[in-house]
Chains A and B, each alone.
Chain A
Amino acid sequence: MDAHADIDDPRFGLDRRVRLQGPLRLDSGVSLTPVDFAYETYGALNADRSNAVLICHALTGDQYVASTHPITGKSGWWMRLVGEGKPVDPARHFIICVNVLGSCMGSSGPASIDAATRERWGMRFPVITIGDMVRAQAMLLDHLGIERLSAVIGGSMGGMQALTWPSLFPDRIGAAVVIAATARHSAQNIAFHEVGRQAIMADPRWRGGGYYMDNDSPSAGLAVARMAAHITYLSEAGLTEKFGRRLQGRDTKTFGFDADFQVESYLRHQGISFVERFDANSYLYITRAMDYFDLAEDHGGVLAHAFEACRARFCIISFDTDWLYPTVESRHIVHALNAAGKQASFVELSAPFGHDSFLLDVPEMNRIVDGFLKAGEG
């Protein structure tokens, strides 16, 4: 490849797809081949390829970080952080966002076709981990000719990937921004995910994950899973402020089981709109990957050991109303980084939106990420 990144290079741009042979060796011991990737890039790679920034998305996120989602028609999910004049700026950065392994927006997952059988994978798709998602991303970066990332940035499950990157590829990471995340899934985290999975699998239309043939998917189960999870993304104060006990389009209670309350109607809407864009089996696989996540476990139970080989700078941000991955989890990461002698910044920000704060209007977060990234760019 030419030293100067060519903007006409077909590997770069919006809505890219590529199939790589791999094989990708998974934590489960299984090898996956070939591996499909759906991704987007923004901006141009500079001459010495030192300006690449990888954005990692959350559980139900996708590669459309700063462009219109093809199904929902909504604008990019992190345009508050990524875009012209934003902390991650295509004028300065070469930005990559990849649909994670196991998802359903174009990268290999249970809904994609198994090349060996020419049928949908369904539940025959191998169980994956956060580490596998990161290894898959590294495989794509090899294809894109990017040896080293200036920064990897993610919130929630994206933060878990951002934290895993320097431990798996210590020589490839300049900085990691880990927002509203954790180094391990707690019993409570696993418990909420299990509720979601059971809701999907209890839907008679799930049929052991084999619902693709007649396109009659377990949407009721998936909607319930989304409703339960959505509660964990908000704060009690936020819900109270937004809905309180207000009734939905009526003056009195109906003494029935309609959505009397606004909060019920809101959750039902969240559930229904989610099933239009997300695959139930992908939800099972990705929540499983998150539940298996315990970065210390892979390093003799000592989290600090995960970071020993890397020279990355770290920026850890938590939110005071996030009870899904509360500040104590971020502190745990920071203490490990201090023990490993790494350059770390950490702050707990005040924001009313619960776990979802990382996606919403928190100007302080932008100010911090901006300063942190610029400090590494000299």
Chain B
Amino acid sequence: MLRPDLAVIADHVSDGSRILDVGCGEGALLAALKNRPGMDLRGLELDAANVSTAVARGLSVVQGDADTDLGYYPDKSFDYAILSQTLQTTRRPDHVVGELLRIARQAFVSFPNFAHWRVRLSLTLGGRMPVTRLLPERWYDTPNIHHLTIDDFRALVKERGWTIDGQWFLNRGHATRHANANLFAEHAVFLLKR
């Protein structure tokens, strides 16, 4: 079973695409796309054990860091760059998305929404940093060093003059409506272009 945000992405990439999955983990999405016709698939992943598993599955995955290694890819060398649940772990999310849009014609970016009502409630009433299903780590051991909301992301896109070509919102793994997504969506997937 593909993670819901990955399933959204898999449903919206066309066959015969050149794809770079940044922060690809064990390569779940790449493996799901592997048998589709004409795909040229690459991955970048920080964790060595994940890379080993991905390469052992026959995927082309390079161990590297989204913050420092994207600069080595030429301009427009991919049709899609994918950043799923990785944005909030990077040191400079704005630079990383900028790089994705340099090396690919379009970029899928998915992230957990820190403005979901359950998160808001947890912080407002509990007075503690929220620990949720999608954000299960505690404040001191979380790899998520840049929490963001859907509205934060939209503001960044607007400020940089990027274009939103598609947006999908998820709640409990299912598609949810656009209206008030910043309050009701646990998870967002954006398709951007420069």
Q: Which residues of A contact B (CB under 8 A)?
A: 313, 315, 331, 334-335, 338-339, 341, 343-350, 364, 367-368, 370-372, 374-375
**B56–A368 CB distance below 8 A:** yes
**A368–B62 CB distance below 8 A:** no
**B72–A344 CB distance below 8 A:** no
Q: Assuming A334-B64, A335-B69, A350-B48, is B55 touching A345 (CB within 8 A)? A: yes
**B62–A349 CB distance below 8 A:** no
B139 on interface, CB distance cutoff 8 Å: no
**A345–B62 CB distance below 8 A:** yes
Q: Which of A335, A343, A372, A374 is B42 in contact with, Cβ under 8 Å?
A: A343
Query: How far, in whole Å, are A236 and B54 apart by their CA atoms in the complex?
Result: 31
B143 on interface, CB distance cutoff 8 Å: no
Q: Assuming A313-B60, A338-B72, A338-B73, is B55 touching A349 (CB within 8 A)? A: no
B59 on interface, CB distance cutoff 8 Å: yes
**B72–A345 CB distance below 8 A:** no
A374 CB to closest chain B CB (Å) equals 6
Q: Which residue of B lies closest to A336 (CB)?
A: B72
Q: Which of A339, A341, A345 is B61 in contact with, Cβ under 8 Å?
A: A345
**B52–A349 CB distance below 8 A:** yes
Residue pairs across A and B with Cβ atoms less than 8 A apart, 27 shown, are A313-B60, A334-B64, A335-B72, A338-B62, A338-B72, A339-B72, A339-B74, A341-B77, A343-B42, A343-B60, A344-B60, A345-B54, A345-B59, A346-B62, A346-B63, A346-B64, A347-B51, A349-B52, A364-B52, A367-B52, A368-B55, A370-B56, A371-B55, A371-B56, A372-B58, A374-B58, A375-B57
Q: Which of B69-93 contact A (CB under 8 A)?
A: 69, 72-74, 77
B72 CB to closest chain A CB (Å) equals 4
Beyond A334-B72, A347-B63, list 18 extra A-B contacts (CB 8 Å).
A334-B62, A335-B72, A338-B72, A338-B73, A343-B40, A343-B42, A343-B60, A344-B60, A345-B60, A345-B61, A345-B62, A346-B62, A347-B51, A347-B55, A368-B52, A371-B55, A371-B57, A372-B55
Q: Assuming A370-B56, A374-B58, A375-B59, is B74 touching A348 (CB within 8 A)? A: no
Q: Interface readout for B28-45 with A: 1 if CB under 8 Å, 0 if not?
A: 000000000000101000
Query: How far, in whole Å, are A370 and B42 apart by their CA atoms in the complex?
Result: 18
Query: How far, in whole Å, are A346 and B74 apart by their CA atoms in the complex?
Result: 18
**B62–A348 CB distance below 8 A:** no
Residues of B in contact with A, size category: 20 to 34
B115 CB to closest chain A CB (Å) equals 36
Q: Which residues of B contact A (CB under 8 A)?
A: 40, 42, 48, 51-52, 54-64, 69, 72-74, 77
Query: How far, in whole Å, are A368 and B53 apart by their CA atoms in the complex?
Result: 8
- Residues from chain A with a CB closer than 8 A to the CB of B57 are 371, 375
Query: How far, in whole Å, are A335 and B60 apart by their CA atoms in the complex?
Result: 14
Q: Assuming A335-B72, A343-B42, A367-B52, is B58 touching A348 (CB within 8 A)? A: no
A43 CB to closest chain B CB (Å) equals 21
A314 CB to closest chain B CB (Å) equals 9
**A349–B69 CB distance below 8 A:** no
- Residues from chain A with a CB closer than 8 A to the CB of B61 are 345, 347
- Residues from chain B with a CB closer than 8 A to the CB of A372 are 55-56, 58
Q: Assuming A349-B52, A368-B52, is B58 touching A339 (CB within 8 A)? A: no
Query: How far, in whole Å, are A367 and B54 apart by their CA atoms in the complex?
Result: 10
**Quick one: which of B57, B59, B62, B74 has the most chain A CB within 10 A?**
B62
**A315–B55 CB distance below 8 A:** yes
**Quick one: which of B56, B69, B72 has the most chain A CB within 10 A?**
B56
- Residues from chain B with a CB closer than 8 A to the CB of A345 are 51, 54-55, 59-62
**A341–B55 CB distance below 8 A:** no
- Residues from chain B with a CB closer than 8 A to the CB of A367 are 52, 56
- Residues from chain B with a CB closer than 8 A to the CB of A344 are 42, 60, 62
